[in-house]
Structures are given as C-alpha cells and as structure tokens.
Structure 1
Amino acid sequence: MKNNIKISRVDLFFRFFKISILTFGGGYAMMPMVEKELINRDGLLKEDEIIDDYAMGQSIPGIIGVNASALMGYRIAGRVGLSIAILGFITPSIIIISLISSLLLDIENNIYIVKAFTGLRAGVVALMLNALLNIGKKSLKSLWAYGLLVIAVVGILFFKFHPIYLILFGGFIGFVIGETKERRGKC
C-alpha cells in the first residue's frame, strides 16, 4: 500500500523517532505530532488514512502507538517502512527506560520529579482530549456514526462491555450499512 511520495529510510526513521520522543501519554497523545510530521510537512499521508490506521491499531493487540506507527510506515514505504517506523518509534522509549531504570532509585522519591509528573498527567489528558475531538470531527460523518458512538459509550460506562466486542459490533454494523447503501445505489 505504498504511496507515491519518496522518503529516505533515514528520514522515515527519524520522523517516527521524533514523534515518539516528543509524545507523552501514548498513542492518541501523539496525534498532533503525527499530523505535523506526516500530513502537514509534505503530505506523506492523508487524515483519513491516519484515522484508519489508529482505528486498526486500536483493534489489534499491542500498544496503539506502535501498531499505528507500523500501519502508517507500511502505507508510506511498504514492509520496509513498517519495520523502520516501528524501530523509529520504539528507540526513544528504549533509551529513556534504560536511563530512568539506572537512576530510578535516586529519583523515585524526589519531590520535584513527583511534581513534574503530576503536571505531565494533566497535559497528557489535554492531549488525549484534543486527539479525541480531532478524531471525532473527522470520523463522525453520519447519523449512524453518532448512534454507534452513543451505544459504545453507554456500553462501556454503564454495562462494562469489553472494548473488543464494541469494536467488532461497530465493524459489523459499518459493513452492513455500507453494503445496504451500495445495494440501494445499484438498484
């Protein structure tokens, strides 16, 4: 599923490295950096492609940031792009975790570190809310989509449905609605 825009392997690696190292809070918090590096900078991907990759990344096992990066890398440069995107995305975490683990005993009770992480948590929530609103604006294009959103929210909050069932249900309903619209258009 390669696109037609050429990018070097080194540039692709460092774009995902930059996305990862400048993102706190996980996959959805990285959405603004993904938009900046892969859409706005030179149009490597389109917004709809990124939203599809996030949806697919969320529905398969694993860390959404890694999953979404893999799918985006594949769109950009095929299998090689997939591998490079994953490597670029996980490298900062490996470096940071290695450094933190060697210093952990010295900093875990440091009042300044504790306060900094309290502030980081608030910022992460804001980034996740921003990503939610951006994805919602771009994804909820019909009354059916809003209905499925309400069903999913109610199912999770009040009935404690497992997210995988809601993802499968949403995919099934989307398929049925798409097929119904397609058949009506052909008749």
Structure 2
Amino acid sequence: MNQLLRMFFIFMKIGTFTLGGGYAMIPLIQDEIVEKNKWIDEDEFIDIIALAQTIPGALAINTSTYIGYRLFGFKGALLGCIGTMLPSVVIILIVAAFFLQFQNNVWVEAIFRGIRPAVVALILAAVIKLGKTLPKSILNIGWVIGSVLCITLFHIHPILVIIFSGILGYMLFKGENSDEDNC
C-alpha cells in the first residue's frame, strides 16, 4: 500500500510541476519510475511510451495509467491516472476562474514568455534521452529521419506514421523474438 501511495504522489508531483504536456513529462516519469525507483527498466519504458502514443488520450495519462496497472493492477491504474490528472484539473479550474482578470496582465504574459523556452527544453530533453536508448544502426537512424520528414515536411499525420512503423517493424523484426514469444 505504501508503494501504491508513493506512486500516486510521484505522478501527482509530476502533474503539478510539469508544463507543456505529456512530452515534457516523459523525462520526469523516466527519472522517477525507471531510474530512482527502478520499478520498470529502460526498454519497457520505451515500449510503454510507444504504446501510450498509439492509443487515444493524453500521453502522460496513458503512460501513468499503464505504469500504474503494470505495477499495482487496477488500483494502480486508477491512482496513476488520477495522480497525473488531478493537478491539471485543479490548475485549470483556478486559471478559468481568474483568466479574464489577468489575460492581458503584463506580468502574466512575461511569465508565460519565460516558461515557453523551458517547455521546449523539456521536450527536447525527452527526445535526447529516448534517442540514447535507440540502438544505433543505419536502419534506425533512417527510420527516425524518415518519420520526422514525413510528419514535418510532408504533413503526414503522426498516427499514420506510427501505424506504418508498427506494420513495418512487424514485417522486419517478427522473427527476432521468437524465443520470447514461446515463453
């Protein structure tokens, strides 16, 4: 029970202090869940992020719900989801109550102009951290570059890139883990 509550408060802390959405939360979740608590290893974390991106919903909530379920079953999924979501809901309600008063406030605008670069840095840090775990091969590097080009240059929807990557990955790698599949 202590570990379950600990996980809840970890996700609540991450949800409270992370601006910029799910991608900005990835390095914090990774630090807490993989590195500090060692509840999940690096490879499984990468798989969870990939899975969380392929299903509908917010990345951080999908990730925390899956991790909670993986660690503590249904109660873990529920508390992981609530822990991640609760701070945002409270903050949104507070902001909504006072937004009209402060929307043109010079101080508020200055604060948000300062926060934006930090959010970009968090997202970039997540990309770099996740990229370090990717096996370095010409195929993987080409796959990353091709995916980025498809999304940014050719405006192909990320969901289509993910689906195509999954199909291509299945076709290319389906025989590599045959020993694990039999376990």
TM-score, normalised with respect to structure 1: 0.88
Q: Counterpart in 2 of 1:96?
A: 91
Task: Classify 1:35/1:158 alpha carbon distance in 2 versus 1 (closer, same or farther; 3 Å).
Answer: closer
Q: Counterpart in 2 of 1:3?
A: none
Contact 1:38 1:44 in 2 (8 A): yes
Correspondence 1:168 to 2:160: no
Deviation string, structure 1 residues 143-186 (Cα, Å, up to 9, x no partner): 32222112212211222111111101111111111125468xxx
Task: Classify 1:115/1:142 alpha carbon distance in 2 versus 1 (closer, same or farther; 3 Å).
Answer: same
Q: Counterpart in 2 of 1:49?
A: 44
The 2-side partners of 1:161 and 1:104 are apart by 35
Q: Counterpart in 2 of 1:32?
A: 27
Deviation string, structure 1 residues 98-143 (Cα, Å, up to 9, x no partner): 1111111221111011011011111000111111111111124433
Q: Counterpart in 2 of 1:177?
A: 172
Q: Given the alignment, which residue of 4, 8, 19 partners 1:13?
A: 8
Q: Counterpart in 2 of 1:83?
A: 78
Contact 2:147 2:161 in 1 (8 A): yes
Q: Which amino acid aligns with 1:111?
A: V
Contact 2:26 2:60 in 1 (8 A): no
Q: Counterpart in 1 of 2:144?
A: 149
Task: Classify 1:113/1:182 alpha carbon distance in 2 versus 1 (closer, same or farther; 3 Å).
Answer: closer
Structure 1 runs of 4+ off > 3 angstroms? Answer: 180-183
Q: Counterpart in 1 of 2:125?
A: 130
Q: Which amino acid aligns with 2:120?
A: V
Q: Secondary structure at the match of 2:174?
A: helix
In structure 1, stretches of 5+ residues that fail to align are 1-5
The 1-side partners of 2:147 and 2:140 are apart by 10
Shift of 1:51: 1.4
Q: Which amino acid aligns with 2:57?
A: G
Contact 1:51 1:139 in 2 (8 A): no
Task: Classify 1:96/1:162 alpha carbon distance in 2 versus 1 (closer, same or farther; 3 Å).
Answer: same
- Percent sequence identity is 35
The 2-side partners of 1:65 and 1:182 are apart by 28
In structure 2, stretches of 5+ residues that fail to align are 179-183
TM-score, normalised with respect to structure 2: 0.89
